[in-house]
Amino acid sequence: MKCIVVDDEETSRAIMAHLIDINPRTVLIDSFDDAISAIKYLNEHPIDLIFLNIHMPTFTGFDFLKTIKTPPNIILTSSDNYAAHKAFDYECIVDFFSKPISQDRFDKGVQRAISTVGKNFVTSKNLVSGDSIDDLYVNIDRRLVKINIPSINLIVAQGDYIMLKTAGKNYMVYSTLKKIGDKLPTDAFLKVHRSYIINTKKIIDIEDNSVLIGEDVVPVSRSNRPELIKRLNLL
């Protein structure tokens, strides 16, 4: 995750930079000793996670929160535990670190932040790793499991969960079709039914109002059939 630190204390910024460097899921992009400079930076650069100190002179962490229109995930930091109760007023705040911060506590907060990105999955471009942007990370039993997006045959809604089916393995994830649909490339994936998203490149054949993908026969709703036909390279 791409991170920035906003803290007026130089020592605190150095400690946070060290914690970020040790965690394999976080990359420090920049740090700021005042909130105004951070706001200017965010206007031009996308960030996944902000470590924000509450008590800063002139412009506090809560002033910062009131100014940002669409904030990324934020973890508040402070030596004042009483201030933690205000964190519940902001949906973007995923955790509160009481100074001094241990590596174990830091790692747990980062994991919580990762878990809230798309609720259960993040793309590798958000993780800033050496993985291909064709990879998707799904949150399964508190572990981030990497799935190659082109290997996905279809996704099926099953109550409060979705089933991601690949040629080799299936993955049950607590999420909705809409949430994962927003993470998938639209040139390959299409919602063909209220309960199904398919990889159109994996279609074996089409008959009436259904398609065959692997061993799965997937229904195609009447309203989605025209878009599906448009996607096909017909002879």
How long is the chain?
A: 235
- The model carries a pTM of 0.51
- Do residues 140 and 172 touch, judged by C-beta distance below 8 A? yes
For residue 178, give the nearest of 194, 166, 165, 164 by alpha carbon.
194
Q: What is the pLDDT of residue 129?
A: 38
CATH number for the region 2-117 comes to 3.40.50.2300
pLDDT tens digits, 100-151: 899 999 999 898 888 765 444 444 444 443 444 577 777 776 567 788 899 9
How is the chain split into domains, by residue range? Answer: 2-117, 149-231
Give CATH superfamily name and number for 149-231: LytTr DNA-binding domain (2.40.50.1020)
User: Within 10 Å of residue 77's Cβ, how many Cβ atoms?
Assistant: 26
Query: What is the model's pLDDT at position 124?
Result: 46
Q: Which tops the pLDDT comparison, 193 or 71?
A: 193
Residue 80's φ and ψ, nearest 5 degrees, are -100, 95
What CA–CA distance (Å, rounded) separates 139 from 177? 15
What does the pLDDT look like over 12-63, one tens digit per residue? 999 999 999 999 889 999 999 999 999 999 888 888 999 999 888 888 888 8
23-57 b/e (C-beta count within 10 Å ≥ 16 → b)? bebbbbbebbbebeebbeebeeeebbbbbbbbebe
- In this predicted structure, what is the pLDDT of residue 133? 54
Q: Which residue has the higher pLDDT, 84 or 104?
A: 104
**What is the DSSP annotation of 202-216?**
GEEEEETTEEEETTE
Name the band, by pLDDT with cuts 50, 70 and 90, for residue 81. low
CA dihedral 100, 52, 1, 196 (to 10 degrees): 120
In the prediction, which pLDDT does 120 show?
45
Instruction: Report the greatest alpha carbon distance in the chain.
Output: 69
- Residue 76, Cβ neighbours under 10 Å: how many? 24
Q: What are the distances in angstroms from CA 152 to CA 189, 197, 200?
A: 9, 10, 10
pLDDT above 90 covers a percentage of the chain that reads: 41
144-192 pLDDT, tens digit each: 778 889 999 999 999 888 999 998 899 998 888 888 888 888 889 999 9
* 100 prior amide bond cis, ω within 30: yes
